[in-house]
């Protein structure tokens, strides 16, 4: 399969790749943690602060109106990107905050249902907030099992989604294993039983086409910094009808229509959930990142990353490594592996000597690592600018690590 895009040309649009690390070209393969930023996004943020900076929704003067216009347009751009309307897009700090918002504001919609259903593959961000809610509200926490091939056990999902289920919350793509979960099937099962659905899309929105209507989910969360935008800006999508029925997460300025000394009336969506001065430049920068991604095309990005994943999986198999990936048909561009007898941190640290950034550790998925019986993994995760040469660089570095540790191949 040929790559659908020219990643070497795209790499040139990211100024950080001019850097040398330990005298070597930078090979960045930790995109699941955060992505690098294209000049187009950096320029948009610089332009905002250089030419349009003012607080939003508060000034009658031109600058404030410009800033407000740009901020509101960002809601619309991001909404269109995932098949939602502008008022269904709430800006948060990140995926973590989006899920915390839900864990705080959703329970009044649960009625008598008292079970929260997650999967065994969740990032702590889509686990700990629900654990805390379960403790606070006396709810039961259940988990859809993972099969031995790292895919989700659909039969188990079918068994566990019942009329007691208040909510099914699952990742679209596992940040630790790359598994692409069958979200559509799960949301259908949930809907049939009247349960709400939350999708943690932190690892899917930057890498493949995502449409909330097609997925059939009620809520979807993702982070700007993992999709070529800045840190400190995240998104929560929610179905309007549900957001309207939910109480706000934070209260204060901007999220109100009228306030008296003893009471307040909430603002319209999405402001009701955006208390205080938001990350204006982050939102505008994220809209620029979305435009950048749309120009390349999400289908093309997916195909390109699929190609690199297949290539890396094939080459890794030649080494003495254990691979934790469900295979190209069920997995995204995230590959976890362990080199026999070498700690994942050592692999990551020795890769750095070669100018290669990969992650070693539990990937904020401690229960999943425990289930796998390992402390962690080394993890390669692809972005749109990665090349076949990047894959080759990893294999050369691995060879030298194997030699250093005397691993039997």
Ligand X SMILES: Cc1ncc(COP(=O)(O)O)c(C=O)c1O
Q: Which residues contact ligand X by CB under 6 A?
A: 32, 94-96, 123, 125-126, 171, 175, 200, 202-203, 223
Instruction: Evaluate whether 26 touches 17 at the Cβ level (below 8 Å).
Output: yes
Say whether 217 is catalytic: no
Instruction: Evaluate whether 269 touches 55 at the Cβ level (below 8 Å).
Output: no
Smallest separation (angstroms) from ligand X to the CB of 193: 25
Smallest separation (angstroms) from ligand X to the CB of 279: 13
Question: Which CB atom, from 202 or from 243, has the smaller least distance to ligand X?
Answer: 202
Question: Is the sign of the CA dihedral 296, 299, 304, 305 positive or negative?
Answer: positive
Smallest separation (angstroms) from ligand X to the CB of 405: 28
Instruction: Evaluate whether 341 touches 99 at the Cβ level (below 8 Å).
Output: no
Question: Which CB atom, from 101 or from 397, has the smaller least distance to ligand X?
Answer: 101
Residue (of 370, 80, 91, 334) closest to 209 by Cα position: 80
Chain-centre distance for alpha carbon 356: 22
Query: Which residues are CB-contacts of 200 (< 8 A; sequence separation ≥ 6)?
Result: 95, 99, 122, 123, 125, 126, 169, 170, 171, 172, 221, 222
Smallest separation (angstroms) from ligand X to the CB of 307: 22
Closest CB to ligand X belongs to which residue? 175
Rounded Cα distance between 135 and 137, Å, is 6
Question: Which CB atom, from 282 or from 354, has the smaller least distance to ligand X?
Answer: 282
Residue with tokens 């997460």: 249
What phi and psi values does residue 198 have, to the nearest 5 degrees?
A: -125, 130
Strand, helix or coil for residue 312 = helix
What phi and psi values does residue 180 have, to the nearest 5 degrees?
A: -95, 115
Q: Is the peptide bond preceding residue 270 cis, with omega within 30 degrees of 0?
A: yes
Smallest separation (angstroms) from ligand X to the CB of 224: 8
Question: Which CB atom, from 56 or from 208, has the smaller least distance to ligand X?
Answer: 208
Positions marked catalytic? 364
């Amino acid at each position: 399969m040929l790559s659908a895009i020219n990643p070497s040309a795209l790499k040139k649009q990211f100024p950080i790749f001019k850097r040398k690390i330990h005298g070597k070209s930078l090979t960045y393969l930790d995109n699941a943690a955060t992505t690098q930023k294209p000049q187009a996004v950096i320029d948009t943020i610089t332009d905002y602060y250089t030419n349009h900076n003012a607080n939003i929704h508060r000034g009658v003067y031109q600058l404030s109106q410009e800033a407000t216009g740009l901020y509101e347009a960002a809601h619309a751009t991001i909404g269109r990107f995932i098949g939602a309307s502008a008022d269904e897009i709430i800006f948060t700090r990140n995926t973590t905050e989006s899920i915390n918002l839900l864990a705080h504001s959703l329970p009044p919609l649960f009625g008598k249902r008292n079970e929260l259903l997650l999967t065994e593959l969740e990032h702590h961000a889509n686990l700990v907030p629900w654990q805390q809610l379960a403790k606070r509200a006396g709810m039961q926490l259940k988990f859809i099992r993972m099969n031995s091939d790292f895919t989700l056990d659909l039969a188990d999902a079918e068994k566990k989604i019942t009329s007691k289920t208040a909510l099914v919350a699952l990742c679209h793509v596992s940040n630790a294993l790359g598994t692409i979960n069958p979200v559509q099937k799960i949301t259908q099962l949930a809907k049939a039983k009247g349960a709400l659905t939350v999708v943690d899309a932190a690892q899917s929105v930057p890498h493949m086409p995502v449409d909330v209507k097609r997925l059939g989910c009620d809520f979807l969360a993702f982070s700007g910094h993992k999709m070529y935008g800045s840190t400190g800006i995240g998104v929560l999508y929610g179905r309007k009808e549900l957001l309207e029925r939910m109480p706000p997460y934070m209260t204060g300025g901007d999220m109100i229509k009228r306030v008296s000394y003893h009471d307040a009336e909430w603002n319209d969506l999405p402001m009701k959930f955006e208390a205080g001065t938001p990350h204006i430049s982050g939102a505008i920068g994220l809209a620029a990142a979305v435009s950048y991604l749309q120009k390349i095309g999400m289908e093309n990005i997916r195909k390109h990353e699929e190609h690199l994943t297949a290539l890396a999986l094939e080459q890794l198999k030649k080494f003495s490594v254990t691979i934790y990936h469900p295979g190209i048909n069920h997995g995204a561009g995230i590959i976890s592996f362990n080199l026999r007898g070498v700690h994942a941190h050592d692999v990551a640290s020795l890769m750095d000597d070669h100018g290669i950034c990969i992650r070693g550790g539990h990937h904020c998925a401690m229960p999943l690592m425990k289930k796998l019986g390992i402390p962690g993994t080394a993890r390669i995760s692809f972005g749109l600018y990665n090349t076949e040469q990047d894959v080759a660089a990893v294999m050369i570095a691995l060879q030298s690590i194997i030699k250093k540790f005397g691993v039997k191949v």
